[in-house]
């Protein structure tokens, strides 16, 4: 959408194809954070920053992956991101922040108000105003390329058959990630990871496949964000997610958020935290166990349990704790989930804000019944685990990292939890002009990529970078493609 809008701003005739019945993709289900350096919002808050510092700090989020990262392209991204934020604000979007997220040396995270759907609503309105043609339920299947020459068009599948579209200036691929693309994941990842579902069921890696079919090179396809354990979604979206993305309301909320007392803001953030953030692994290292719908343990909880959950009935599990452990996770520094340095959620927050994933009872049998699991099985599981924990028997799953036994009532179950792949880092090799390159590094004329399609070898660990990149690369690709004259 950013690419289409930027191209339309240059006077290009634009056709946007979307495979679903509505616009939005993964962007619309995201939290909406946009991380950037040297923004006008930072400046207004008196924060001195530098895009090169930002580039360096991104590299500190996951040092083992840094050698695989495309630092040069990332530098181009960090230099451009603040202009994208300005562009979005000029379109009518409001942001709250900046919030800190170490190891970023200064606060850089800007959160769109009221939620990520605002990006979609605002860009949609602008596209319509510019006369862009939006074709829903058009799934792009393949690109047409003249031998080793330019890309000249595409074919899309619709309910009424195939449609071919000629592209005079170019095609920009922005078809999202492959978190749920079993076929493409299986080619690059071990089975135990490839078979884990993506949070967005429609993120099937179409763009990656379509470009590869005409000779484009894919980089870092083995790098994915997850699998990660998360609580199932609440029955109702939290208040902030339900707010309509109306520009006037966003303006009012943006101002109101600046004036809200910190405790009120923290409370709002906690509600989002318990909805979206994953439970910390320290829960398991300090003694929590996982049981499946049959009330049985199934893995060493201290060793990547996220890989075992997808093989359980209904692909779900429950985290079991007793009072001793719940007390530990009721105060700093032991939180159940966090958005680092912004807010921390403890057991009492889950009890208060996520009653749908919190159960408590004075006996293990009662607890089991309250979550619909066989009471005898849970009692036996706890008994066996406590024996292993006390060194009286060998743990059948090889667990050696135990906390104290789980024997103090009340007993607590958090869940259901599931494992998901959140997003993916692999993408097409691209130039700093968003042009797609082949394995020899040669430009495929007329083909551009943005967002998760055009990752170009970058690995964007840390919050707010994927949206900032999707919108920055889209804005640049649209502008550049619109200026291209056909070969
Ligand atoms: C729960 C969650 C929270 C997140 N929160 C944040 C956050 O706060 N900040 C952040 O930076 N990142 C966040 N991310 C990651 C981020 O949202 C995504 O990486 C980013 O939005 C991807 O943008 P995109 O434009 O590449 O893809 P998308 O937004 O997925 O857009 C791709 C579009 O292409 C369409 N499409 C796919 N294939 C075809 C085809 N063959 N033909 C036609 N159309 C097609 C899709 O339906 C979709 O509408 C989050 C991810 C998740 C899952």
pLDDT digit string (tens) for 30-64? 889 999 999 999 999 999 999 999 999 999 999 99
pLDDT digit string (tens) for 291-337? 999 999 999 999 999 999 999 999 999 999 999 999 999 999 999 98
CA pair distance 354, 352, nearest whole angstrom: 6
Q: Is pLDDT of 430 > 80?
A: yes
Residue 471 CA, closest ligand 1 atom number: 25
Q: Mutation test of ligand 1: which of 26, 116, 143 has the most ligand atoms closer than 8 Å to its C-beta?
A: 26
User: 27: CA distance to ligand 1 center in Å?
Assistant: 4
Residue 116 CA, closest ligand 1 atom number: 8
User: 451: CA distance to ligand 1 center in Å?
Assistant: 8
User: 176: CA distance to ligand 1 center in Å?
Assistant: 5
pLDDT digit string (tens) for 444-483? 999 999 999 999 999 999 999 999 999 999 999 999 999 9
Apex 471 CA angle, 109 and 206, nearest 5: 120
The per-residue DSSP string of 427-441 comes to EE-B-TT-EEEBTTS
Instruction: For residue 271, give the nearest of 360, 359, 355 by alpha carbon.
Output: 355
Would you state the structure tokens that stand for residue 47, as one six-digit string?
Answer: 């924060």
Would you state the structure tokens that stand for residue 306, as one six-digit string?
Answer: 């996220």
Would you state the structure tokens that stand for residue 282, as one six-digit string?
Answer: 């320290």
- Residues of 345-366 as b/e, b for ≥16 C-beta within 10 angstroms? bbbebbbebbeebbbbbeebbb
The pTM of the full predicted model, rounded to 2 decimals, is 0.91
CA pair distance 333, 377, nearest whole angstrom: 33
């Amino acid at each position: 959408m950013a690419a289409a809008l930027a191209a339309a701003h240059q006077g290009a005739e634009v056709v946007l194809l979307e495979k679903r019945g509505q616009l939005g993709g993964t962007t619309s289900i995201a939290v909406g954070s946009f991380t950037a350096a040297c923004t006008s919002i930072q400046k207004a808050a008196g924060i001195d920053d530098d895009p090169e510092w930002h580039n360096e700090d991104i590299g500190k989020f996951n040092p083992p992956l840094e050698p695989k990262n495309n630092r040069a392209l990332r530098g181009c991204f960090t230099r451009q991101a603040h202009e994208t934020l300005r562009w979005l604000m000029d379109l009518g979007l409001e942001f709250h922040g900046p919030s800190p997220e170490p190891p970023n040396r200064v606060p850089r995270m800007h959160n769109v108000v009221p939620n990520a759907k605002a990006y979609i609503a605002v860009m949609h309105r602008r596209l319509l105003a510019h006369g862009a043609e939006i074709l829903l339920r058009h799934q792009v299947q393949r690109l047409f390329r003249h031998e080793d020459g330019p890309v000249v068009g595409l074919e899309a599948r619709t309910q009424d058959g195939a449609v071919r579209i000629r592209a005079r200036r170019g095609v920009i691929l922005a078809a999202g990630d492959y978190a749920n693309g079993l076929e493409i994941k299986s080619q690059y990842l071990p089975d135990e990871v490839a078979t884990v579902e993506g949070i967005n069921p429609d993120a099937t890696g179409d763009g990656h496949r379509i470009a590869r079919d005409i000779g484009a090179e894919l980089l870092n396809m083995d790098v994915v964000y997850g699998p990660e354990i998360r609580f199932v979604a609440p029955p109702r979206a939290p208040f902030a997610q339900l707010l309509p993305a109306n520009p006037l309301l966003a303006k009012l909320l943006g101002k109101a958020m600046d004036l809200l007392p910190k405790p009120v803001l923290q409370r709002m953030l906690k509600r989002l935290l318990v909805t979206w953030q994953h439970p910390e692994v320290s829960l398991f290292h300090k003694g929590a166990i996982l049981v499946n719908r049959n009330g049985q343990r199934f893995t060493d909880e201290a060793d990547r349990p996220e890989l075992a959950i997808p093989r359980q009935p209904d692909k779900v599990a429950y985290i079991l704790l007793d009072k001793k452990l719940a007390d530990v996770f009721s105060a700093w520094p032991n939180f159940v989930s966090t958005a680092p340095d912004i807010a921390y959620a403890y057991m009492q927050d889950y009890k208060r804000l996520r009653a749908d994933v919190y159960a408590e009872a004075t006996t293990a049998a009662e607890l089991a019944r309250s979550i619909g699991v066989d009471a005898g099985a849970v009692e036996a599981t706890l008994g066996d685990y406590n024996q292993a924990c006390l060194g009286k028997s060998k743990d059948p799953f090889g667990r050696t990292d135990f906390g104290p036994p789980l024997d103090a009532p009340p007993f607590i179950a958090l869940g259901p939890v599931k494992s998901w792949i959140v997003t993916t880092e692999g993408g097409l090799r691209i130039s700093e002009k968003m042009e797609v390159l082949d394995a020899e590094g040669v430009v495929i004329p007329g083909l551009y990529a943005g967002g998760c399609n055009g990752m170009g070898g970058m690995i964007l660990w840390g919050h707010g970078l994927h949206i900032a990149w999707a919108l920055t690369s889209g804005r640049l690709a649209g502008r550049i493609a619109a200026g291209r004259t056909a070969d």
